[in-house]
Structure 1
Amino acid sequence: MKTLSRPWVSRRALAAFGAALWLGLAGVPAHAQSPFIVVASTTSTEQSGLFGHLLPLFKAATGTEARVVAVGTGQALDMGRRGDADVVFVHDTAAEEKFVAEGWGLKRLPVMYNDFVLIGPAADPAKVKGRDVAAALQKIAAAGASFVSRADKSGTHAAELRYWKLAGLDMAAAKPAGYKECGCGMGPALNIAASTGSYLLSDRGTWLSFKNRNDLTILVEGDTRLFNPYGVIVVNPAKYPHVKQALAQGFADWLVSPAGQAAIASYKIGGEQLFFPNAKP
């Protein structure tokens, strides 16, 4: 019996040891093996392809994985306010400064800029082509031309509302006849405009990466009011102790470093640069 029981006991012990080892390895948090942060950012940085270019370079340089949640700027800042992100990377300077002033973020660092452009059908039924965005919107409203608004509290939507105000229209009181709200990201809004022959405001980066243009074209550009800056803000760990401050700060610091700024400048589509670095020395 002894000679038969010893192998059975040995196999049983070995199986128990293996199970314990497997359970121990399974219990190791994923971030202990591969550190990561959650980045709340905009659809424009995602849909333009910029993150697909930047994030592998960031991980190679730091060993940290950045997991992006791409939503409108307003939603991204709300994620920061709820503690659902470690860092926000967005494009609405006034809203970003308010976010910091209210104590939700540590400091806004300027990272880059591009510009907004007014897109519309090549036939330009409202005759808006030129450099004055306010005058163009006045013409669209007067003609009752079709216009697609993201209407999603994004940085682009906030900018659009500012331009309508400059054009003398109070969108909270009454909207022009052809005004359509999609409540969607930049890519879907462009698809709707392409299929309906509508005007809309887009960031240049997403427009350059957009393939389904049909007869859409840039009609208004070059107005200094179309300037579109982006900033990065680490969420305040005093509000949410689970925020990975050191890793998030590493992401912000890399974006504004010479390496990060060079990576932003090097991202091009068809030989055209989409974003321009503007971090302060």
Structure 2
Amino acid sequence: MPIQRRTFLAAAGTGAVAGLAGCSQILGGNDQTAGVAGETLTLTTTTSTYDTGLLGELNGPFEEMYGVSVDSVAQGTGAALETARNGDSDVVMVHARSLEDEFMRNGHGVNRRDIMFNDFVIVGPEGDPAGIQGMASATEAFTTIANSESMFVSRGDNSGTHTKELLIWEQAGVEPGGDWYQETGTGMGEALNIANEQGAYTLSDRGTYLSQRSEIDLVILVQGPIEGGPETLANPYGIMAVNPAVHDVNYDLSMAYIGYITSPQAQDLIDGYRANGEQLFFPRALSEDPDFQQYVPEGWSSNATSG
């Protein structure tokens, strides 16, 4: 690992970095794993994959299979991509396609794959002071919250969730601000806790909300598409290797990880992962009719030169 990446991981501290110890043995003596055994993969990813516990479930089998360790840095999507842009990450797992496309177009990422999805939900106090419960439109719900000046907690951290929130405000024609709107600059779990303490609304990914539901009093008031809500609240996750032509990264191990995450084994783990009896994420890497656009940024073909 380059010196600057070691320094970054040390500075991040235990609150941001979940180092998952790897097994020192290569299962079955597979020669394919010999080239990477004993190495460390640096993964920057969203707080939702870490806060829900899914990351530990996925990384353990990979570490055992290859005899490696995974240093997982949990950040908002924007911060995770910035870390990778600085060459401090080998592979990135995030959930904001517009930011992913920018990362790819600027040459920092390669070999993007869809891996899973869930959706966003609008949660708030059971009393629902703004009266948004059951609304079929996220923009209508946000407009109603703003017009009533009901408390709203925003992550304010350039994460995938924050990016989606800002898009909804833009679609609603609302510029949020004032005493009713609070930006926390925190991960999803902490934003939910703050909203719970203040009796406020917030936008959450379904997975993090379900994993914390037993500890908070907030309820889902506007559903995402998994439960028949608007498609604008869809929440797809992708994974990309950091471009080895631009940064000094462990590309071989990155591609091994991408291959594992998109394999039947890992996709089954995603499908079977539960918290409080609820499925948090849904696999999407394997399909009889794969979506070609998962590999390239939006608009890439229109910018390409035909030969």
With the length of structure 2 as denominator, give the TM-score of the two structures.
0.77
Deviation for aligned residue 1:212: 6.2
Cross-structure match for 1:110: 114
Structure 2 unaligned segments of length 5 or more: list them: 1-34, 224-228, 288-307
State which drifts further: 146-155 or 209-218.
Answer: 209-218
Please list, as runs of the form range in 1=range in 2, the aligned pairs for 1:1-281 lying within 5 A after superposition.
34-130=38-134, 131-171=136-176, 175-211=177-213, 213-221=215-223, 222-241=229-248, 243-281=249-287
The residue type equivalent to 1:145 in the other structure is S
Counterpart amino acid of residue 272 in structure 1: E
Partner secondary structure for residue 143 of structure 2: helix
1:80-115 per-residue CA deviation (whole Å, 9 max, x = no partner) reads 100000000000011101111110011211000000
Letter of the 1:250 partner, please give it: A
Look up the SS of the partner of 1:153 in the other structure.
coil
Give the number of the structure whose alpha-carbon radius of gyration is greater: 1
Counterparts of 1:212 and 1:279 in 2: how far apart (Å)?
30
Question: Number of paired residues?
Answer: 247
RMSD: 1.6
Does the CA contact (< 8 Å) of 2:92 and 2:241 recur in 1?
A: yes
Shift of 1:132: 1.6
Q: Is the 8 A contact 1:141 1:177 kept in 2?
A: no
Query: SS at 1:210's partner residue?
Result: helix
CA distance in 2, matches of 1:162, 1:280: 29
The offset of 1:214, in angstroms, is 3.8
- Structure 1, unaligned runs of 5 or more: 1-30
Identity %: 44
CA distance in 2, matches of 1:269, 1:249: 29
Q: How far apart are 1:260 and its partner, in Å?
A: 1.2
Q: CA deviation at 1:166?
A: 1.4
| C-alpha displacement of 1:133 | 1.0
Deviation at 1:269, TM superposition (A): 1.4
- Deviation (angstroms), 1:63: 2.2
Does the aligned pair in 2 maintain the 1:194–1:212 contact within 8 Å?
no
Deviations 1:8-66 (A, max 9, x none): xxxxxxxxxxxxxxxxxxxxxxx987221000001011001111211112222332221
What TM-score, normalized by structure 1, do the two folds share? 0.84
Asked if the contact 1:149/1:181 (under 8 Å) is kept, the reply is yes
Which amino acid counterpart does residue 197 of structure 2 have in structure 1? S
For residue 280 of structure 1, report the CA deviation from its aligned partner. Answer: 4.5
Given the superposition, is the C-alpha separation of residues 129 and 211 from structure 1 closer, same or farther in structure 2, using an over 3 Å criterion?
A: closer
Q: Which amino acid aligns with 2:118?
A: N
Alignment partners' CA distance in 2, 1:199 and 1:52: 29
What is the rounded CA distance, in whole Å, between the counterparts of 2:242 and 2:37 in structure 1?
23
Q: Give the equivalent residue in structure 1 for 2:302.
A: none
8 A contact 1:121–1:197 mirrored in 2 = yes
Moved over 3 A (4+): 211-214
